[in-house]
Amino acid sequence: MEIVKRDLNELLNMTDEGIDELVKTALESSGNADMLKAKKAQLQAAEARLLTIDKMVGKLFMPTTLKAVLMMIDFAEWFRIWKKSLLL
């Protein structure tokens, strides 16, 4: 019973790094180290896809927004000219 209490206290007092190392060791000893590498590769690939999507969305919407602003500026200039022509 004392051994169980001691082991439980050791687990409760572990740091995050210690827990990560324990999990890594357990996975390696169970033969699932390849699965861990595969999951890390999937995560990196997903992050790369998200970055690509973010860049694409930025490129798609920025020109549209810029065009709308330029159209508003052109309209404002046209309106000023039209207003002046009415006053003449």
- Per-run averaged pLDDT (10 residues), the chain, 88 residues: 81 83 78 74 91 82 70 78 74
Tell me what pLDDT residue 45 has.
Answer: 92
Quick one: CA dihedral 68, 74, 78, 83, positive or negative? positive
Tell me what pLDDT residue 37 has.
Answer: 79
9-29 pLDDT, tens digit per residue, is 887 888 888 888 888 887 777
Tell me what pLDDT residue 88 has.
Answer: 59
Tell me what pLDDT residue 29 has.
Answer: 73
CA distance 86 to 77: 15
CA distance 86 to 79: 11
On whether the pTM is more than 0.85, the answer is: no
